[in-house]
Amino acid sequence: MFMTFYTSLILLFSLIWDIMNTQEVPIYRKIGLFSGNILATLRLSMGDSDFNCLYDETLNQAQHYLFWITWVVMTIFSALIFLNFIIAEVCNSYAKVRFNIQSLMYKEKAGLINEAEDILTDNIKNNKIKFPKYMISRQDIDTA
């Protein structure tokens, strides 16, 4: 869903740039004007501001205002979409961790115990009192 919306947003704004900027940008000359506008819009949505169409004096005053309005709207929309996506991913990761917190804690504790036992010498590991061959597990019984 996110990629569909983001792709349509990029295509929409690249069409607007295509209408406003009819000159070919030198860095995109080998891929064509339309593909160059798509890449320029993608770069703009990621925070790389490209003002190549402002270097030449081909825009009149109305087009100049339209350029800045479009640039502000595109920057705000793309920032909102990216921030929304990042917040959704962080919330999803937090929910997964919160759901599995007990098992993750036991796994980390077991890893730390294993690491501590690996550091011990063989003389200590062979001590039958500290390292018996059995394990006692106690469980509370609810007597309700």
Q: Are 77 and 46 in contact (CB under 8 A)?
A: no
Q: Are 38 and 50 in contact (CB under 8 A)?
A: no
79-91 average pLDDT score: 82
Digit-coded pLDDT (tens) for 23-63: 666 777 788 777 887 887 787 777 777 666 555 566 677 77
pLDDT at 138 (0 to 100)? 67
pLDDT at 53 (0 to 100)? 57
DSSP 82: H
73-94 average pLDDT score: 82
Distances (CA, A) of 130 to 95, 107, 112, 121, 126: 39, 22, 17, 13, 8
pLDDT at 31 (0 to 100)? 83
Tell which phi-psi region holds residue 110, choosing left (phi > 0), alpha (psi between -120 and 50) or beta: alpha
**pLDDT of 144 higher than 60:** no
**pLDDT of 96 higher than 80:** yes
72-82 average pLDDT score: 78
Cα angle for residues 18, 55, 9 (degrees, 5° grid) = 30
Q: Which two tokens stand for residue 97?
A: 């961790």
Confidence of residue 81 (pLDDT cuts 50, 70, 90): confident
Confidence of residue 3 (pLDDT cuts 50, 70, 90): confident
Bigger pLDDT: 122 vs 50 = 122
